[in-house]
Amino acid sequence: MRIYPAKPSKVYFYATCLVDMFDPQAGLDAITLLEQQGIEVIFVEKQTCCGQPAYSSGYDKQAKQVAQSQIDLFPENWPVVVLSGSCGGMMHHHYRRLFKGDSNQAMVDTFCDRVFELTEFLVNVCRASLIDQGDKSVVVMHTSCAARREMNVHLTATQLLEQLDNVEIREQAYESECCGFGGTFAVRHPDISQSMVEDKTQHLCATEATELVSADWGCLLNINGALEYQNKALRGVHLASFLLARTGGQ
């Protein structure tokens, strides 16, 4: 069981490449959420990919090079808050495996211990208490496979949503099933991926929720693309943006 530290005065912020390229506002919103907790947020501009695509495709050498380049960017002993359970899982768990037996393994393990997914950090480190300022809303949440199975942050994301008095949370059928994205899986197996996302969107729409949230932009890209193709009204937003809007943040 993970032991969580006391709330720090500073954190590093790891936006992820998908947020950086497709929804930088979600990154800014997440930073605001952290600043509302009285924390100074340090964004290192040279950060890039965490190395997961190479790692999951079997390119361990290249993934290790990327991982080392990222680790070197965060030298201070501050938590590294990651805006994705998938990237968080890579940095918290799989970096250890890439460097197992290396001379600098102890340093890498220390870095991995400093990595937290955003909702995990808000709940278990900041002990955040949210006050809902929004109108009544019906929400369904999708959690990425890595976020659920490696980081267990579907639990902390739900805990944050449950703090919002005017938000009704509806659970989709087969909630734990993959949306079909899976990084390079969607590229290498497009027909299977399409079938999976069609199932996922069917179950999401069947809840009759008016809003869709997720803490992983890879899944949102896949699901939103399928919803748009199907001419569905439902669209997903990153959980950080949803939480900030509900709590009156700017």
CATH assignment of 137-246? 3.40.50.11810
Q: What is the pLDDT of residue 250?
A: 65
User: Tokens for 206?
Assistant: 């069947």
Say if residue 185's pLDDT is above 90: no
- Mean pLDDT on 140-156: 93
Q: What is the pLDDT of residues 82-124, one digit of tens each?
A: 999 999 999 999 999 999 999 999 999 999 999 999 999 999 9
234 pLDDT band, cuts 50/70/90, is very high
Arithmetic mean of pLDDT over the chain: 95
Place of tokens 């509806």: 170
CA–CA–CA angle 45, 46, 52 (5° rounding): 115
Structural domain boundaries of the chain? 10-124, 137-246
248: left (phi over 0), alpha (psi -120 to 50) or beta: left
Quote helix, strand, coil % in the chain, to nearest 5. 50, 15, 40
Say if residue 145's pLDDT is above 80: yes
Dist. CA 137–CA 109, nearest whole Å: 42
Contact 115, 48 (CB under 8 A): no
User: Tokens for 157?
Assistant: 């994301």
- Mean pLDDT on 186-213: 95
Q: What is the pLDDT of residue 182?
A: 83
DSSP state of 73: T
> What residues contact residue 96 under an 8 Å CB cut-off, 6+ apart?
105, 108, 109, 112
Say if residue 248's pLDDT is above 90: no
Percent of the chain with pLDDT over 90: 91
- Mean pLDDT on 156-168: 97
Which residue from 164, 84, 80, 153 is spatially nearest to 129, judged by alpha carbons?
164
